[in-house]
Amino acid sequence: MRSYPEVHNFIAGQFVSDSGKRLDVYNPRHGKVISSMPLSGKGALDMAVEAAKAAFPAWSGLPVKERVQVFFRYKTLLEKHLQELSELVMDENGKTFDEARAEVEKSIELTEFACSMPQLVYGEILEVSRGVECRVERKPLGIVASIAPFNFPHMVPHWTIPNALALGNCMILKPSELVPISAQKIASMLKEAGLPDGVLNIVNGDREIVEAICDHPDISAVSFVGSTKVAKIVYQRATGNLKRCTALGGAKNHLVVMPDAHPAMTASNVTASMSGCAGQRCMAASAMVAVGNVDHIVSGICDEARKIIPGENLGSVISEAAKERIEKYINEAEAAGAKVLVDGRNWKVEGFESGYYVGPTVIDFVKPEMAIAKEEVFGPVLAIIRTQDLDSAIQIENSSEYGNAASIFTQSGGMARKFMENASAGMIGVNIGVPVPREPFSFGGWNDSKFGVNDITGKSSIDLWTNLKKTSIKWNPEGKTNWMS
């Protein structure tokens, strides 16, 4: 098992130790400590904000074409260090190596998008009256913050860092205290790529730092990714302090399976969606709404699920507490009459006995009112809810308080169209189990899965990270234009 050096804050281009309390960082596959991180307080945040303020005039003053050169160089560094970065994600998060590598590859795609910023943010100009022109440009906000969850330690910081920085902002990143190590590598590689000191700063900690970010008078915008409970707190606190905020929350994603769905493809896609990254994806299938007689597909899903072996092609969940929470949902559903078809409880992986493993679990005949049907389980668990027609399936999906992703499996264009129109979610899939929009399309849910106007990636994020400056110009006094004197 690899261990890692102590995690430090990254302020003004330097890793800075913090003499306060520290927290152990675990490798969840082993259940063993691999590093420790500081639980920093407001003092560290103030230092980071001062560093960002000092860096902002020069960084925001560069043309965007110059700023993105850093990200071209950074992208080649990500590619060069793909193996090492993937191993690190695997170590601190518990996912498999292939999943970790896919995560870092997604960070590369996000960085590529930021490199295309000059093609996306050029302004507009029009002669609005004789001799008078109006022009519109995008200007950075100033100091912005990004607060990240545990489930994608590498990718989620890349949802915000490349775009916000390429657009001229300086940033404070607050990684999850469960997975703070990847952010250390991100900072040092950006420095190596030529990012000026102070443009990106990292402050480690927990709730205290998040609250201090929401309250800090010099931070203009806050992005948050995490659970709905905390997203609501952050959104209310940040906007209460008159900051711009986009806060992405949790999810309960429904996959509707129609009787005409392609059996093999549906079974493998649904299973991959519910079990990938041990179900710890905000886009994971969590509830399957089985319409009519789809027993053959349910049986195919069980066959697929039985091929997934924890410790081999399934990683661990993040903590002992997460394992207990997930197994409690399964126990309660079973006690309430649901049928456990594939049981992932009480898994032990040989050689990794203290790791936090839950095997793939398929539970049939779940009722919509059960907690497992309504709440986010965040583990490799598929709750199957039976219903008779597409209308009632859509009703079940719509009754969720969340609205991140929703998919339908069918070979009927008409059915797919009806679902696309009526599902209440921000990201819809047709015969796709994990309908993540790829760049340049933006990522973001609806309902209690996102608070705020903008999505967090893609073109929509440009509005999140910039203000529009409108300038009206008149250069012809001899024309005696009396409009806009």
Q: Is 317 in the site for ligand NAD (CB under 6 A)?
A: no
* Binding string, residues 112-151; x marks residues near ligand NAD by CB under 6 A: -----------------------------------xxxxx
Q: Is 256 in the site for ligand NAD (CB under 6 A)?
A: no
Q: Is 425 in the site for ligand NAD (CB under 6 A)?
A: no
Provide, rounded to whole angstroms, the least separation between the CB of residue 157 and ligand NAD.
11
Nearer to ligand NAD, 211 or 334 (CB): 211
Q: Is 288 in the site for ligand NAD (CB under 6 A)?
A: no
Binder to ligand NAD among 145, 187, 225, 277 (CB under 6 A)?
A: 225
d(CA 305, CA 268): 9
Q: Is 376 in the site for ligand NAD (CB under 6 A)?
A: yes
Provide, rounded to whole angstroms, the least separation between the CB of residue 416 and ligand NAD.
24
Closest Cα to residue 140, out of 456, 464, 467? 467
Provide, rounded to whole angstroms, the least separation between the CB of residue 60 and ligand NAD.
26
Q: Is 60 in the site for ligand NAD (CB under 6 A)?
A: no
| Binders in 180-219 for ligand NAD, by CB under 6 A | 206-207, 210-211
Q: What is the 3-state secondary structure (H, E, C) of the chain?
A: CCCCCCCCEEECCEEECCCCCEEEEEECCCCEEEEEEECCCHHHHHHHHHHHHHHHHHHHHCCHHHHHHHHHHHHHHHHHCHHHHHHHHHHHHCCCHHHHHHHHHHHHHHHHHHHCHHHHCCCEEEEEECCEEEEEEEEECCEEEEECCCCCCCHHHHHHHHHHHHCCCEEEEECCCCCCHHHHHHHHHHHHCCCCCCCEEECCCCHHHHHHHHHCCCCCEEEEECCHHHHHHHHHHHHHCCCEEEEECCCCEEEEECCCCCHHHHHHHHHHHHHHHHHCCCCCEEEEEEECCCHHHHHHHHHHHHCCCECCCECCCCCHHHHHHHHHHHHHHHHCCCEEEECCCCCCCCCCCCCCCCCCEEEECCCCCCHHHHCCCCCCEEEEEEECCHHHHHHHHHCCCCCCEEEEECCCHHHHHHHHHHCCCCEEEECCCCCCCCCCCCCCCCHHHEECCCCCCCCHHHHHHEEEEEEEEECCHHHCCCCCC
Q: Is 235 in the site for ligand NAD (CB under 6 A)?
A: no
Nearer to ligand NAD, 207 or 348 (CB): 207
Q: Which residue is nearest to ligand NAD (CB)?
A: 226
Nearer to ligand NAD, 111 or 223 (CB): 223
End-to-end CA separation in angstroms for the chain = 72
Angle between helices 97-115 and 82-93 (to 10 degrees): 120
Binder to ligand NAD among 445, 448, 462, 466 (CB under 6 A)?
A: 445
Stretch that binds ligand NAD, among 22-30, 33-41, 189-197, 249-257 (CB under 6 A): 249-257
Provide, rounded to whole angstroms, the least separation between the CB of residue 174 and ligand NAD.
6
Tokens 């091929």 belong to 307
Determine whether 282 is an active site residue.
yes
Nearer to ligand NAD, 89 or 225 (CB): 225
Q: Cα 482 to the chain's mean position, in Å?
A: 52
Binder to ligand NAD among 449, 454, 457, 461 (CB under 6 A)?
A: 449
Exactly one of 214, 245, 277, 282 is catalytic; name it: 282
Binder to ligand NAD among 36, 116, 188, 227 (CB under 6 A)?
A: 227
Stretch that binds ligand NAD, among 7-15, 171-179, 379-387, 389-397 (CB under 6 A): 171-179
Q: Is 373 in the site for ligand NAD (CB under 6 A)?
A: no
Stretch that binds ligand NAD, among 98-106, 112-120, 244-252, 388-396 (CB under 6 A): 244-252
Binder to ligand NAD among 27, 361, 404, 466 (CB under 6 A)?
A: 404
Binder to ligand NAD among 67, 174, 191, 254 (CB under 6 A)?
A: 174
Provide, rounded to whole angstroms, the least separation between the CB of residue 148 and ligand NAD.
6
Stretch that binds ligand NAD, among 121-129, 224-232, 355-363, 470-478 (CB under 6 A): 224-232
Q: In the complex, which residues of this chain contact ligand NAD (CB under 6 A)?
A: 147-151, 174, 176-177, 206-207, 210-211, 225-227, 230, 233, 248-251, 282, 376, 378, 404, 445, 449
Active site residues: 282
